[in-house]
Amino acid sequence: MRGALSFLTPFGGARTPGPRTLDWFPLVGAVIGLFLGGIWWAANRAWGPPVSAALVVTADLAVTGLLHFDGLVDSADGLLPHLDRERRLAVMATPEAGAFGIGVGAVVVLLRWAALSSIRPSPVLLVGIWCLSRTGMAVVARTQPYARLEGGLASAFSGAPRWAPLVAGLAGSVALAAAWRLPAGLVVAATALAAGMAVVWLARRRIGGFTGDVLGAAGIMTETAGLIVAAARWS
């Protein structure tokens, strides 16, 4: 649990992740979603939708230490321009943000704020979506090749796969989305998962696998797509 917490957030202390770390990704995602959902519900009672949505977006960036958002920006800079594979990996490893990363990052933040502003606050919804995004990250790390030749993330997660926690995380995420609203919650879960997998598919085609940045980008896009679909007019 502490290994997953330190990998996905700035908390938990400095710990080296291992194969069992992935087992705890769904629970860490659910805890983050519950924390953000509580802020959303409380802030909406005090200030209303626009401010409460802004506070949730800010709190999410803070509680994740901008790690996943940084992955989104780096992935946009590396995967979207016309570059060769080695150049893509080099761009994703540099700390600077380019035009693609800045543009995608700004649009995603705006979409998340707009979607949260349009939905009645529901901690259950955020727990489901955030659990789903971390479960997706763990599945990608277990099933996809690591894009970089040197050791690191891939070797840290190598080992005999344990699927029971991830299956439970996926089932729990879908159940929570369904508890939020039927049939809208099921559509939210399916669309969110498809958006995250689309990022992984693009990375597989352009750099041959995943990196830490790709995991972060997939998680962010899973959450963002889920929020956008949840904000649709279902009634």
Tell me the three-class secondary structure of 14-74, residue by residue.
CCCCCHHHHHHHHHHHHHHHHHHHHHHHHHHHHCCHHHHHHHHHHHHHHHCCCHHHHHHHH
Q: What is the pLDDT of residues 75-117, one digit of tens each?
A: 999 999 999 999 999 999 988 999 999 999 999 999 999 999 9
pLDDT band at residue 156 using 50, 70 and 90 as cut-offs = low
Rounded mean pLDDT of 34-39?
Answer: 97
Is pLDDT at 6 greater than 90 in this prediction?
no
pTM confidence score: 0.93
Higher pLDDT, 164 or 226: 226
In the predicted model, what is the mean pLDDT of the chain?
A: 91
pLDDT for residue 215? 94
Contacts of residue 84, Cβ cutoff 8 Å, sequence gap at least 6: none
What pLDDT is attached to residue 72? Answer: 97
pLDDT at 152 over 80: no
Question: Per-residue confidence at 235, pLDDT binned at 50, 70, 90?
Answer: low
**Per-residue pLDDT tens digits for 204-219:** 999 999 998 999 999 9
Whether the pLDDT of residue 184 is over 60: the answer is: yes
pLDDT of residue 159: 59
